[in-house]
Amino acid sequence: MIDVINVKFNEKLLGLTPANADRVIFSLGRPSEVLLSVGIEDKEIKLYGNKIFKKVKKHGYQVSDLKDLPQILSNPIIVFDDKQHGGHLALTVLQLGGNNAFVSLEVGDGSDMDFNIVKSVFGKSLSGIIWRINSGHLLYADKEKALSYLSTPAPIAGAKDNREPAHSCHLRTSALVADAIGTQEFKNTDPVSTLAPIAGAADDRELLEAINIVNGFENPLIYKDNTFPDEMSIPKNNFSPNGDKNAQS
């Protein structure tokens, strides 16, 4: 079913223009089992064409970059709560502006009250993801994808510049992941104490904290065919007293 929806989405995306954007509405289908497991309501997901152009202009990507969004959203890397806006944020494999894309979802109001509405799609930096994990907003994590994402050769949160070679950064973050999950290769290594000078120890410890949280996180139960018990097993996190941090962009 999601394959059919994905094809239709891509076809309609090709025909989207500024002239017809106010009249075009995209369907992303109903939430996947993963999205349902974190408490997203079982309602069709809608995305307005004019919303796409607003976000394209604001965040500097192309309309065509949203290709396969329904399929991608159905298999997120991580899902966070968005307490500030009463919705959810899904980190995906979609690349926008060199960062993995966040998809912001909320239940609509007024004539949209029977739908989940995509409020925004934008690239989110690694530092923002680390902050959100460490602040207790995590609801779901595909551990393999999430740990791979956290070990990508990208600048570590808080690094003052980007001069560090990607290979060096990749070795460092890979060591942090390996240390967290007990990989033999780095078993006798203290990754934080052997980091390149360009990354501050505090930033790397924040990354290590995030890796440990993801590695030890217990996902909610996922029920097949949308059959749920009376009470869903949604993680109860201790949310940061600092509140949200620019969740919706």
What is residue 240's predicted lDDT score, i.e. its pLDDT? Answer: 42
Residue-level pLDDT at 162: 41
pTM of the predicted model as reported, rounded to 2 decimal places: 0.76
Helix axes of 201-216 and 143-150: crossing angle, nearest 10 degrees = 170
Q: Which amino acid is at 28?
A: L
Residue range 20-44: mean pLDDT, rounded: 97
Residue 117 confidence (pLDDT) above 80: yes
pLDDT of residue 85: 87
Bin 60: left if φ > 0, else alpha if -120 < ψ < 50, else beta: left
Q: Long-range CB contacts (< 8 A, 24+ apart) of 62-68?
A: 63/13, 63/16, 64/13, 64/14, 65/94, 65/95, 65/96, 66/13, 66/94, 66/121, 67/10, 67/13, 68/6, 68/9, 68/10, 68/94
Which range is least confidently modeled, 15-24, 33-42, 184-193? 184-193
Give the residue, 49 or 229, on which the prediction is more confident: 49
58 has pLDDT over 70: yes
What is the SS3 assignment for 82? strand
**More confident site: 149 or 223:** 149
* For range 156-174, the mean pLDDT: 44
pLDDT, residue 204, reads: 85
| Predicted confidence (pLDDT) at residue 80 exceeds the cutoff of 90 | yes
Beta bridge partners of 78: 91, 141
Structure confidence by residue, pLDDT tens digits, 166-218: 444 444 555 556 665 555 343 444 444 333 333 444 588 999 999 999 999 99
Whole-number average pLDDT of the chain: 81
Distance CA 240, CA 190 (A): 28
| pLDDT tens per residue, range 132-150 | 999 999 999 999 999 999 9
Which pLDDT value is given to residue 166?
Answer: 40
Nearest alpha carbon to residue 67 among 19, 8, 113, 141: 8
Residue with the bigger pLDDT between 60 and 182: it is 60
Average pLDDT over every residue of 46-72: 97
Tokens representing residue 106 in the block: 């909320």
What percent of the chain shows pLDDT beyond 90? Answer: 64
The structure tokens listed for 34 are 């993963």
Q: Where are the domains of the chain?
A: 2-74+105-119, 143-216
Q: Which residues have C-beta within 8 Å of that of residue 102, sequence separation ≥ 6?
A: 89, 90, 91, 92, 120, 121, 122, 123, 124, 249
Q: Is the pLDDT of residue 220 over 70?
A: yes
Higher pLDDT, 166 or 118: 118
- Mean pLDDT of all residues in 85-113: 95
pLDDT of residue 203: 81
